[in-house]
Amino acid sequence: MTPDPFSVQSDTSIENVANLMVDKSFHTLPVVDNGKLVGIVGKADILKTLTSGV
């Protein structure tokens, strides 16, 4: 396991999440709010969101 993993918050912009994934070669990122895991975002989620025009 990674001792200090990267994570994002639920209010992190989709553009920032996508940039982090590209820059660090991540396929998925945990979403953490107030120290609790609230979800996981993957490349497919990013592509679906960006191509849907949301």
Per-residue pLDDT reduced to its tens digit, 19-42: 999 999 999 999 999 999 999 999
Domain CATH number, residue 37 = 3.90.1280.20
Does residue 51 surpass a pLDDT of 90? no
N residues, the chain: 54
- The domain of 39 spans 14-52
Q: Is 13 helix (H, G, I), strand (E, B) or coil?
A: coil
pTM for the full predicted model: 0.82
Q: Which two tokens stand for residue 50?
A: 């960006």
- Residue 41 to residue 17: CA distance in whole angstroms: 9
Asked, for residue 6, whether it belongs to a domain, the answer is: no
Q: Which amino acid is at 14?
A: I
